[in-house]
Amino acid sequence: MSAEYATFALAPAVRAGGFLADGGFEVHRDFLDFVVDGRPLLLLLSDVDAVSPLASDVPPAILTRQVRGLLLDAEAPLPGGRHVLYGCPECEELGCGAVTAVIERQGNDVVWRDFAWQTDQTADLELNGYHGTGPFRFRADAYRAALERLLDGTAVGPRRRVLLVGARPASLTKLAAALRTIGIGADIARDTVAVPAEELRAYGAVVLGGAVTETERAAVRVAFGDSGADAACVDALADVVPLIVAQVEQALDRGPAEHRRLTGLTAAGRTASVTVASACRVRLVAYRLDRLHRTRTHEVFDGALEPGTHRIPLDGNAVKGRAFVVARAAGGVLVAAVAD
């Protein structure tokens, strides 16, 4: 094992939720990712849709237990000194699969080694090991300092909510219900005139419906700016609930671009261009409005992509008229209007 040290840090990350073309949905999760030598560990693994145990919706007692385990102040939850680093974002059951590793002390150092994909109590390193990942040696003092900041119960941070502003209560009610279904809190308001500044600061994004005038949009932006809120402003592209949900998910992902797998999406005519930073599965769904303003949904691509920019053909029927494309990969979502 190399004696070279790796740096250890924690960084906010998002597992984007949303609605799928087959009618199913994925849950939104806010969590802290492990950053090794300046790069999220999750990106060093194969295409894994998973979250760390350090999530914003984990009760304080469970979060403390997870941190104590990573600090080696508690017994490892799995045989052989193995700890769960990433688990299923929907249920977190080991049977769904988890990324695990041995965490151990070596003198004044902490070492993570023998990374594996695990679905039961025993890891098969030969069959399911992440060969070439690790081992990582951390200085124990820096490692402990990063994790101990979580023990006061504030470092992970509260889950952000979304404010929906518009003049069509029925549409906003459907959108709010959809957001809540995937785990994002949502409130509805006609405007922000009577909303206190401290409440505005609790929102991670504000969605402006299509019926909101330019004057009203400007007033909302001023109110959020004056309150000191760090909220993303989302202009709804169309009255299509899954599309707006995807826009919200994109807006809530405030992490740096270098921490993402899915980094670019454009669409024009019958071609979409998708850029990925690391190998991953990408799903591409097109939404269009027909002449009667009904929503038509088409899954146009679902497959593995290597790093780089890829041109993906779009069926003419899928993007006829006013259309939009949503790209999803593990941990991220991007939205683009289809240009003529």
Angle at 245 (CA atoms; ends 330, 316), nearest 5 degrees? 80
d(CA 294, CA 79): 54
- What does the pLDDT read at residue 1? 44
pTM of the model: 0.87
Cβ-contact 115, 130 below 8 angstroms: yes
- What does the pLDDT read at residue 302? 95
Q: Write the DSSP symbol of residue 197.
A: H
d(CA 53, CA 31): 8
Cβ-contact 225, 251 below 8 angstroms: no
- What does the pLDDT read at residue 340? 82
Q: What single-letter amino acid sits at 151?
A: L
What is the set of domains in the chain, with CATH numbers? 8-152 (no CATH), 159-253 (3.40.50.880), 260-339 (2.60.40)
Q: List C-alpha distances in Å: 338 to 19, 187, 229, 269, 275.
A: 20, 30, 31, 7, 16
Per-residue pLDDT of the chain (340 residues; tens, 9 = 90+): 446 999 999 998 889 999 888 888 999 999 999 999 999 999 888 778 899 999 988 888 889 999 999 999 999 999 999 999 999 998 878 889 999 999 999 999 999 999 999 999 989 999 999 998 989 999 999 999 999 999 876 566 666 799 999 988 888 999 999 999 999 999 999 999 888 999 999 999 999 998 899 999 999 999 999 999 989 999 999 999 999 999 999 999 887 888 889 999 999 999 999 999 988 999 999 999 988 888 999 999 999 999 999 999 999 888 998 999 999 998 899 999 999 8
Find tokens 């151990």 and name the residue: 104
Give the number of other Cβ atoms within 10 Å of residue 230's Cβ. Answer: 11
Q: Write the DSSP symbol of residue 126.
A: H
Nearest to 333 by CA among 283, 267, 270: 283
d(CA 53, CA 17): 17
- What does the pLDDT read at residue 61? 86
d(CA 325, CA 218): 27
Cβ-contact 204, 215 below 8 angstroms: no
Both tokens of residue 196?
């206190």
